[in-house]
Protein backbone atom coordinates (compact mmCIF):
# COMPACT_ATOMS: atom_id res chain seq x y z
CA UNK A 1 0.00 0.00 0.00
CA UNK A 2 2.90 2.31 0.82
CA UNK A 3 4.47 1.67 -2.60
CA UNK A 4 1.15 2.46 -4.30
CA UNK A 5 0.86 5.74 -2.39
CA UNK A 6 4.43 6.62 -3.41
CA UNK A 7 3.68 5.97 -7.08
CA UNK A 8 0.45 8.00 -6.93
CA UNK A 9 2.26 10.87 -5.20
CA UNK A 10 5.06 10.81 -7.80
CA UNK A 11 2.55 10.86 -10.61
CA UNK A 12 0.63 13.71 -9.00
CA UNK A 13 3.77 15.81 -8.69
CA UNK A 14 4.89 15.15 -12.23
CA UNK A 15 1.47 15.66 -13.76
CA UNK A 16 1.24 18.98 -11.92
CA UNK A 17 4.59 19.97 -13.40
CA UNK A 18 3.35 18.85 -16.79
CA UNK A 19 0.20 20.96 -16.51
CA UNK A 20 2.33 23.97 -15.63
CA UNK A 21 5.01 23.44 -18.26
CA UNK A 22 3.14 21.63 -21.01
CA UNK A 23 6.08 19.29 -21.68
CA UNK A 24 4.89 15.94 -23.03
CA UNK A 25 8.38 14.49 -22.76
CA UNK A 26 8.32 14.86 -18.97
CA UNK A 27 5.27 12.62 -18.65
CA UNK A 28 6.80 10.09 -21.02
CA UNK A 29 9.94 9.90 -18.89
CA UNK A 30 7.92 9.35 -15.72
CA UNK A 31 5.86 6.56 -17.29
CA UNK A 32 9.00 4.91 -18.68
CA UNK A 33 10.69 5.04 -15.28
CA UNK A 34 7.67 3.49 -13.57
CA UNK A 35 7.60 0.69 -16.15
CA UNK A 36 11.28 -0.17 -15.71
CA UNK A 37 12.01 -3.34 -13.70
CA UNK A 38 13.40 -2.73 -10.23
CA UNK A 39 17.11 -3.52 -9.88
CA UNK A 40 18.44 -4.61 -6.51
CA UNK A 41 21.87 -5.16 -5.08
CA UNK A 42 24.51 -3.94 -2.67
CA UNK A 43 26.18 -0.55 -2.93
CA UNK A 44 29.90 -0.96 -3.61
CA UNK A 45 31.67 0.77 -0.73
CA UNK A 46 35.16 -0.66 -1.13
CA UNK A 47 37.72 -0.35 -3.90
CA UNK A 48 40.35 -2.94 -4.67
CA UNK A 49 43.72 -1.58 -5.78
CA UNK A 50 45.77 -3.83 -8.05
CA UNK A 51 48.24 -3.90 -10.89
CA UNK A 52 46.05 -4.81 -13.85
CA UNK A 53 42.33 -4.46 -14.40
CA UNK A 54 39.51 -6.38 -12.75
CA UNK A 55 37.14 -5.60 -15.60
CA UNK A 56 36.20 -7.15 -18.93
CA UNK A 57 35.91 -3.59 -20.27
CA UNK A 58 37.52 -0.66 -18.48
CA UNK A 59 35.02 2.14 -17.97
CA UNK A 60 31.25 2.14 -18.07
CA UNK A 61 29.44 0.93 -21.16
CA UNK A 62 25.76 0.72 -22.05
CA UNK A 63 24.01 -2.62 -21.89
CA UNK A 64 20.78 -4.49 -21.26
CA UNK A 65 20.03 -6.62 -18.19
CA UNK A 66 17.90 -9.76 -18.45
CA UNK A 67 16.26 -10.74 -15.19
CA UNK A 68 15.20 -14.20 -14.02
CA UNK A 69 11.64 -12.84 -13.87
CA UNK A 70 11.67 -12.44 -17.66
CA UNK A 71 11.85 -8.65 -17.48
CA UNK A 72 14.48 -6.68 -19.39
CA UNK A 73 15.90 -3.28 -18.49
CA UNK A 74 17.77 -1.53 -21.28
CA UNK A 75 20.50 1.03 -21.81
CA UNK A 76 22.01 0.87 -18.34
CA UNK A 77 25.59 1.84 -17.58
CA UNK A 78 27.31 -1.43 -16.67
CA UNK A 79 30.67 -2.99 -15.86
CA UNK A 80 31.52 -6.68 -15.55
CA UNK A 81 34.12 -7.56 -12.91
CA UNK A 82 35.85 -10.74 -14.08
CA UNK A 83 37.89 -11.03 -10.89
CA UNK A 84 34.80 -11.32 -8.70
CA UNK A 85 32.32 -12.47 -11.38
CA UNK A 86 30.02 -9.56 -10.54
CA UNK A 87 27.89 -7.20 -12.62
CA UNK A 88 28.01 -3.53 -11.59
CA UNK A 89 25.38 -0.92 -12.39
CA UNK A 90 25.88 2.83 -12.11
CA UNK A 91 22.71 4.20 -10.54
CA UNK A 92 22.09 7.50 -12.37
CA UNK A 93 19.88 8.97 -9.65
CA UNK A 94 22.34 8.52 -6.78
CA UNK A 95 25.70 8.02 -8.50
CA UNK A 96 26.18 4.81 -6.48
CA UNK A 97 27.88 1.75 -7.93
CA UNK A 98 25.58 -1.20 -7.27
CA UNK A 99 26.67 -4.86 -7.22
CA UNK A 100 23.57 -6.43 -8.74
CA UNK A 101 22.09 -9.49 -7.05
CA UNK A 102 23.38 -12.34 -9.20
CA UNK A 103 20.51 -14.69 -8.38
CA UNK A 104 18.09 -12.18 -9.97
CA UNK A 105 20.07 -11.76 -13.22
CA UNK A 106 19.91 -14.32 -16.04
CA UNK A 107 22.18 -12.45 -18.45
CA UNK A 108 23.29 -9.11 -19.83
CA UNK A 109 24.84 -7.41 -22.83
CA UNK A 110 27.69 -4.92 -23.07
CA UNK A 111 28.33 -2.55 -25.95
CA UNK A 112 31.93 -2.97 -27.07
CA UNK A 113 33.87 0.30 -27.25
CA UNK A 114 35.17 1.50 -30.61
CA UNK A 115 32.99 -0.98 -32.52
CA UNK A 116 29.38 -1.83 -33.25
CA UNK A 117 29.73 -5.24 -31.56
CA UNK A 118 27.85 -6.34 -28.47
CA UNK A 119 29.11 -8.89 -25.95
CA UNK A 120 26.36 -11.21 -24.69
CA UNK A 121 26.66 -12.90 -21.30
CA UNK A 122 24.49 -15.61 -19.79
CA UNK A 123 24.42 -17.16 -16.36
CA UNK A 124 25.01 -20.91 -16.21
CA UNK A 125 24.93 -23.19 -13.20
CA UNK A 126 27.25 -25.93 -14.49
CA UNK A 127 30.47 -26.89 -12.70
CA UNK A 128 32.95 -25.20 -15.04
CA UNK A 129 36.47 -26.48 -14.51
CA UNK A 130 35.92 -26.66 -10.76
CA UNK A 131 34.51 -23.11 -10.63
CA UNK A 132 31.28 -23.17 -8.68
CA UNK A 133 28.86 -20.60 -7.38
CA UNK A 134 25.42 -21.42 -5.93
CA UNK A 135 24.01 -18.49 -7.92
CA UNK A 136 25.75 -19.58 -11.16
CA UNK A 137 28.56 -17.96 -13.14
CA UNK A 138 28.46 -15.46 -16.00
CA UNK A 139 29.88 -16.61 -19.33
CA UNK A 140 30.16 -14.78 -22.64
CA UNK A 141 28.44 -16.47 -25.58
CA UNK A 142 30.71 -16.58 -28.64
CA UNK A 143 28.75 -19.18 -30.65
CA UNK A 144 25.11 -20.03 -29.97
CA UNK A 145 24.20 -23.24 -31.81
CA UNK A 146 23.81 -26.99 -31.25
CA UNK A 147 27.43 -26.85 -30.14
CA UNK A 148 27.88 -23.52 -28.35
CA UNK A 149 31.10 -21.80 -27.43
CA UNK A 150 31.15 -20.01 -24.10
CA UNK A 151 33.98 -18.26 -22.33
CA UNK A 152 34.37 -17.49 -18.67
CA UNK A 153 36.14 -14.11 -18.68
CA UNK A 154 38.06 -14.99 -15.57
CA UNK A 155 40.66 -12.61 -14.15
CA UNK A 156 43.06 -14.10 -11.61
CA UNK A 157 45.74 -13.02 -9.16
CA UNK A 158 49.08 -14.16 -10.58
CA UNK A 159 51.44 -12.70 -7.98
CA UNK A 160 52.57 -9.41 -6.47
CA UNK A 161 54.35 -6.30 -7.69
CA UNK A 162 56.05 -3.51 -5.76
CA UNK A 163 55.38 -0.01 -7.05
CA UNK A 164 56.07 3.48 -5.80
CA UNK A 165 53.07 5.57 -4.78
CA UNK A 166 54.30 9.02 -3.96
CA UNK A 167 57.19 8.52 -1.55
CA UNK A 168 56.33 5.03 -0.36
CA UNK A 169 56.57 1.53 -1.75
CA UNK A 170 53.37 -0.52 -1.87
CA UNK A 171 52.77 -4.13 -2.81
CA UNK A 172 49.88 -4.78 -5.16
CA UNK A 173 48.38 -8.01 -6.47
CA UNK A 174 48.93 -8.59 -10.18
CA UNK A 175 45.71 -9.34 -12.08
CA UNK A 176 45.70 -10.97 -15.51
CA UNK A 177 42.99 -12.42 -17.78
CA UNK A 178 42.79 -16.23 -17.73
CA UNK A 179 39.78 -17.09 -19.90
CA UNK A 180 38.26 -20.55 -19.67
CA UNK A 181 36.67 -21.78 -22.90
CA UNK A 182 33.66 -24.08 -22.62
CA UNK A 183 31.90 -26.13 -25.26
CA UNK A 184 28.24 -26.82 -24.56
CA UNK A 185 27.14 -29.91 -26.48
CA UNK A 186 23.59 -31.08 -27.23
CA UNK A 187 21.98 -32.24 -23.99
CA UNK A 188 23.61 -29.39 -22.04
CA UNK A 189 26.90 -31.21 -21.54
CA UNK A 190 29.79 -28.87 -20.74
CA UNK A 191 33.46 -29.45 -21.50
CA UNK A 192 36.27 -26.98 -20.86
CA UNK A 193 39.27 -26.42 -23.11
CA UNK A 194 42.40 -25.61 -21.12
CA UNK A 195 44.85 -24.96 -23.94
CA UNK A 196 44.04 -23.79 -27.43
CA UNK A 197 45.36 -26.53 -29.71
CA UNK A 198 43.72 -28.30 -32.62
CA UNK A 199 44.41 -31.71 -31.08
CA UNK A 200 42.91 -30.71 -27.73
CA UNK A 201 39.78 -29.43 -29.45
CA UNK A 202 39.35 -32.53 -31.63
CA UNK A 203 39.80 -34.86 -28.65
CA UNK A 204 36.67 -33.41 -27.04
CA UNK A 205 34.54 -35.10 -29.71
CA UNK A 206 35.60 -38.76 -30.05
CA UNK A 207 32.69 -39.65 -32.34
CA UNK A 208 33.58 -36.95 -34.85
CA UNK A 209 37.36 -36.83 -34.68
CA UNK A 210 38.11 -37.96 -38.24
CA UNK A 211 35.64 -35.63 -39.95
CA UNK A 212 36.53 -32.72 -37.69
CA UNK A 213 40.29 -33.20 -38.20
CA UNK A 214 39.86 -33.37 -41.97
CA UNK A 215 37.81 -30.17 -42.10
CA UNK A 216 40.08 -28.20 -39.79
CA UNK A 217 43.16 -29.24 -41.76
CA UNK A 218 41.41 -28.28 -44.98
CA UNK A 219 40.61 -24.88 -43.50
CA UNK A 220 44.17 -24.57 -42.14
CA UNK A 221 42.71 -23.89 -38.72
CA UNK A 222 45.18 -24.76 -35.97
CA UNK A 223 42.87 -23.52 -33.17
CA UNK A 224 45.58 -21.35 -31.63
CA UNK A 225 43.51 -18.22 -30.96
CA UNK A 226 40.03 -17.29 -29.80
CA UNK A 227 38.99 -16.32 -33.32
CA UNK A 228 40.21 -19.67 -34.66
CA UNK A 229 38.33 -21.48 -31.90
CA UNK A 230 35.14 -19.65 -32.89
CA UNK A 231 35.61 -20.80 -36.49
CA UNK A 232 36.35 -24.36 -35.34
CA UNK A 233 33.08 -24.55 -33.39
CA UNK A 234 31.20 -23.21 -36.41
CA UNK A 235 32.81 -25.98 -38.49
CA UNK A 236 31.79 -28.55 -35.88
CA UNK A 237 28.18 -27.45 -36.24
CA UNK A 238 28.25 -28.21 -39.98
CA UNK A 239 29.22 -31.88 -39.54
**In the prediction, which pLDDT does 194 show?**
81
Q: Spell out the domain ranges in the chain.
A: 1-35, 195-239
Strand partners, 77: 62
Contact between residue 111 and residue 121 where contact means Cβ atoms under 8 Å apart:
no
- Tens digit of each residue's pLDDT, the chain (239 residues): 444 444 444 444 444 444 444 455 444 444 345 457 889 899 999 888 899 999 999 999 999 999 999 999 999 999 999 999 999 999 999 999 999 999 999 999 999 998 889 999 999 987 766 666 778 999 999 999 999 999 999 999 999 999 888 889 999 999 999 999 999 999 888 999 989 999 999 999 999 999 999 999 999 999 999 999 999 999 999 99
Cα R_g (the chain), whole angstroms: 23
- Biggest alpha carbon–alpha carbon distance for the chain: 75
**In the prediction, which pLDDT does 134 show?**
78
Listed in sequence order, the residues at least 6 apart from 67 whose beta carbon sits closer than 8 Å to its beta carbon are 37, 73, 104, 105, 106
Residue 92 is classified by DSSP as T
**In the prediction, which pLDDT does 52 show?**
93
In terms of phi and psi (left: phi > 0; alpha: psi -120 to 50; beta: otherwise), the region of 15 is: alpha
Amino acid sequence: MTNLKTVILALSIYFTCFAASGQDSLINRVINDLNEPVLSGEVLNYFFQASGSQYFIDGWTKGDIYLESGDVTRDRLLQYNGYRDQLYWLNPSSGDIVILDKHLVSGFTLAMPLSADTATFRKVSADLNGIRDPDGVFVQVLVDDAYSLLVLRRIVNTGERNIMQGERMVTLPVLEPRPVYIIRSPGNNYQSLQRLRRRNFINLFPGQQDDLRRELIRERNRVRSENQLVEAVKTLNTL
